[in-house]
Amino acid sequence: MKVAILHHHLNPGGVTRIMQLQAESLRRVFPEIEIVVITGHATNPKPFKALEIPIVEYPPLDYLHRRRGLEQELPELLSDITNFLKSNIDRNTIIHVHNLNLGKNPVLTLALSAMARQGYHLFNHCHDFAEDRPENMKFLHEIVEDYFQEDLHRVLYPDNSTSFFATLNSFDYKRLLQKGIPEKRVLLLPNPVEVNKTEGVVVENVREMICRTLGLDGNKLLITYPVRVIRRKNIGEFILLSALFANRSHWLVTQPPKNPVEMKPYQNWKDFCERLHLDVVFEAGLKVDFMELLTASDLCLTTSTREGFGMVFLEPWLLGTPVMGRNIGYVTRDLIESGVQFPLLYDEIEVETENGQADFATLEMEEQQQVIRHALQDAAYAEKVRLQTPMLLKLFDEVSGVVIENNRKVIEENYSLKKYTHTLYEVYRKMAEHYDRPSADTHRGRTPTG
């Protein structure tokens, strides 16, 4: 069996981490599988090279950005991508592609969709969807429909026996069924949750080292948001909480954004916190070990408004660190059904603005910053915000050890890497052995892909 794991890049982040876990666990449990990683930009190849897994790098597979003259480049780009893929992947190889339907490179989406109709085995691992990102969906329409004159639905959701889909949660699973994909070709595949815990670690010692490295007061609580700061992570709400509960805790954020588009608002927030002397530490994950930081933290807090799987809701519990924050119902619903308990989640933070009451997460950055300033300057206003979201008053309550232990056991049982690996292998086996290849089908648009 041969598998090509494909993604736009190997930048640090959730998707790359899952790719690494897949490659590592498959290599360990099923060493007979031939694995190759194909990517547009191999930022961090070390984990794959350590496993002696070859990496094939081809820049046109990376994110495609709007630019002057792009339209004139599209026919050649589609031809080049298709020729590259076909020269590196034969028909007996399962193409395990991540986030193909997110719309980050519509030309790659078009090429792989056509290859699936021609008989190539395509395992489309959906972490996120363009339907939830208006700009991405617009980009797909512009290239797939307006330029290449292809049916976008047919490209994103090809109806053929060699196309298989996986989702991270039941909400997206049902989404694919509603798109017309037969249930037999859709797999609910929650991410595996595994942390590298070192036996015999004394949490107090780790905490002391982290406080010393970051210059923090060891008598204050450590509240960490393990996140790469992008818009949907709603960093303003984390900063609001630091303002509402000033002087009681250090508030740490682990990673800066990678996307250049996100850098300006990120720097704006950093400057904002510095001007107002808010106790927020940015980029803590670049200065201390990530797992050690989570282990030493008193609380892991998430204010994200949208997730594919929501690793942040599970991973900290394995390290004994409770999770608090904004509830994402379509994510936590599956986790709660499996037995995970979340005693510290809230659905919204209601605030009073010039335009009336609103959920803080729905405000634009300038409005969020106005609310934070108001909370810092007016103690009565800050107290009103706290009282309108009663769960915030439990921020410093101790979470029962019984809850922490329950969650650890549930997560280890239901989201283990071992279980995940065997599920993945069965999908590969099914695709390799039982799927009939349809006859070749060429594009009806401007440029055929093969």
Question: pLDDT (tens digit, 9 = 90+) per residue, 196-243?
Answer: 766 667 888 999 999 999 999 999 999 999 998 999 999 999 999 999
Asked if residue 247 and residue 130 are part of one domain, the reply reads no
Q: Determine, yes or no, domain membership for 178.
A: yes
- Sequence-ordered list of residues with C-beta below 8 angstroms from that of 158, at least 6 positions apart, any chain: 113, 116, 117, 122
Nearest CA-CA partner of 99 in 9, 173, 23: 9
**Secondary structure of residue 258 in the 3-state scheme:** coil
Distance between CA atoms of 208 and 154, rounded to whole angstroms?
A: 56
Q: Determine, yes or no, domain membership for 257.
A: yes
199: left (phi over 0), alpha (psi -120 to 50) or beta: beta
Asked if residue 105 and residue 251 are part of one domain, the reply reads no
Asked if residue 340 and residue 367 are part of one domain, the reply reads yes
- Sequence-ordered list of residues with C-beta below 8 angstroms from that of 426, at least 6 positions apart, any chain: none
- Per the CB < 8 A criterion, the answer to whether 338 and 317 are in contact is no
Q: What is the DSSP string of 267-322?
A: HHHHHHHHHTT--EE-SGGGTS-HHHHHHH-SEEEE--S--SS-GGGTHHHHTT--
- Find how far residue 71's CA is from the centre of its chain: 30
What's the pLDDT at 43? 84
- Per the CB < 8 A criterion, the answer to whether 73 and 60 are in contact is no
Measured CA distances, 184 to 161, 166, 173, 257, 427 (Å): 10, 11, 12, 38, 11
Q: Phi and psi at residue 347, in whole multiples of 5°?
A: -95, -25
What's the pLDDT at 197? 67
Asked if residue 91 and residue 215 are part of one domain, the reply reads no
DSSP 214: H
**Which residue range forms the structural domain that includes residue 103?**
2-192+416-434
Q: Determine, yes or no, domain membership for 132.
A: yes
> How do residues 162-177 score in pLDDT, each as one tens digit?
999 999 999 999 999 9
Measured CA distances, 3 to 44, 50, 162 (Å): 20, 18, 14
Query: Which residues lie across from 7 on neighbouring strands?
Result: 39
What's the pLDDT at 46? 86
Asked if residue 384 and residue 265 are part of one domain, the reply reads yes
- Per the CB < 8 A criterion, the answer to whether 353 and 369 are in contact is no
Distance between CA atoms of 329 and 348, rounded to whole angstroms?
A: 12
Per-residue pLDDT at 21 exceeds 50:
yes
H-only helix segments in 141-259: 152-156, 170-178, 203-214, 235-244
Q: What is the CATH number of the domain that holds 284?
A: 3.40.50.2000
Distance between CA atoms of 87 and 84, rounded to whole angstroms?
A: 5
Per-residue pLDDT at 437 exceeds 90:
no
> How do residues 114-137 score in pLDDT, each as one tens digit?
999 999 999 999 999 999 999 999
What's the pLDDT at 63? 95
Q: Determine, yes or no, domain membership for 162.
A: yes
Asked if residue 391 and residue 308 are part of one domain, the reply reads yes
Asked if residue 337 and residue 352 are part of one domain, the reply reads yes
Q: Determine, yes or no, domain membership for 447.
A: no
Torsion of CA 169, 170, 176, 182, to 10 degrees: 120
Asked if residue 394 and residue 421 are part of one domain, the reply reads no
Q: What does pTM read for this prediction? A: 0.83
Asked if residue 140 and residue 179 are part of one domain, the reply reads yes
Q: Determine, yes or no, domain membership for 441.
A: no
Number of domains in the chain: 2
- Per the CB < 8 A criterion, the answer to whether 20 and 51 are in contact is no
Q: Are strands 350-353 and 356-359 parallel, antiparallel or unpaired?
A: antiparallel
Asked if residue 223 and residue 305 are part of one domain, the reply reads yes
Q: Mean pLDDT across the chain, nearest whole number? A: 91
Q: Determine, yes or no, domain membership for 198.
A: no
Amino acid at 46: K
Per-residue pLDDT at 328 exceeds 50:
yes
Asked if residue 290 and residue 167 are part of one domain, the reply reads no
Asked if residue 408 and residue 292 are part of one domain, the reply reads yes
